[in-house]
Amino acid sequence: MTTLLLARHGLTPLTGPVLAGWTPDVHLSEAGQAQAEALAVRLASLELDAIVSSPLERCQETAQAIAGGRATEVLTDERFGECHYGDWTGRPIAELAKDPLWPVVQAHPSAVTFPGGESLSAVQHRAVAAVREWNERLGPKAVYLVCSHGDVIKAIVADAMGLHLDQFQRITADPASLTAIRYTPLRPFVLRLNDLGGDVAALRPAEGSESDDGGENLTGSDAAVGGGSGTT
């Protein structure tokens, strides 16, 4: 049961008003650095088998904050990088909202290829493929963290939940939020989504246990009744 933790990078000066995309030299703001450090404190007690990051500075800085004080180095995987928004990169969101493509992005994202850029379907394909490869590489007992971007995280979650990509706009991934997915032989289980606080100890199953506090066992089946016996 490999457990994937997805962390979105902290705030930057462009987060919200501008579609940063692959704009170079977009660093964490002071508030974003504080968010990254707070997330690092939350995760300090949780052993991580790997920390993987998008190559973009805002993710690298968030991942480095989490890695601080650990023996684990930050590894980079471009497949967790932001969507290539092409001609939309660096433009104000208020301006993009008037573009005829904007309603399609919101309602039918699987049909969208950004002008001069990448399709959202391609983003999901590369990100999910990367997750599957890291799961295989690290093994079934691993708990590892990937620091990435909002749309990438939403695409991975949509796949884990068996949702069509057109539903991924119903998912939220706030800056410095934590999302946890456990991959079992049967199917993935989303343990946390857009989590901004709380204890993380239960995200690593007890050694030798055949089930975790979410109710799924080694085969990935649900608890006999209801959605699981969770502690919260």
Q: How is residue 202 written in tokens? A: 């239960």
Token reading at 115: 């002008």
- Tell me the average pLDDT across 173-178: 97
Is-contact 144 66, C-beta < 8 A?
Answer: no
Residue 155 · residue 127 · CB < 8 Å? yes
> How much is the average pLDDT of 2-15?
97
More confident residue, 46 or 209: 46
pLDDT at 216 over 90: no
**Rounded to the nearest 10 degrees, how much is the dihedral formed by the CA atoms of 81, 190, 15, 129?**
10
pLDDT value of position 213: 41
The structure tokens listed for 191 are 């343990």
Report the pLDDT averaged over residues 20-42: 97
Separation between Cα atoms, residue 119 and residue 19, nearest integer Å: 16
Bigger pLDDT: 212 vs 113: 113
Q: Which of the 8 DSSP states describes residue 6?
A: E
Crossing angle of helices 30-43 and 57-67, in 10° steps, is: 40
Instruction: Say what the pLDDT of residue 209 is.
Output: 56
- Kindly state the average pLDDT of the residues 181-199: 93
The pTM assigned to this predicted structure is 0.88
Crossing angle of helices 150-160 and 120-138, in 10° steps, is 70
Average pLDDT, the chain: 90
| C-beta separation of 66 from 9 below 8 A | no
pLDDT at 200: 87
Q: What is the mean pLDDT of residues 188-194?
A: 96
How many CB atoms lie under 10 A from the CB of residue 206?
A: 10
What number is the average pLDDT over the span 173-187?
Answer: 96
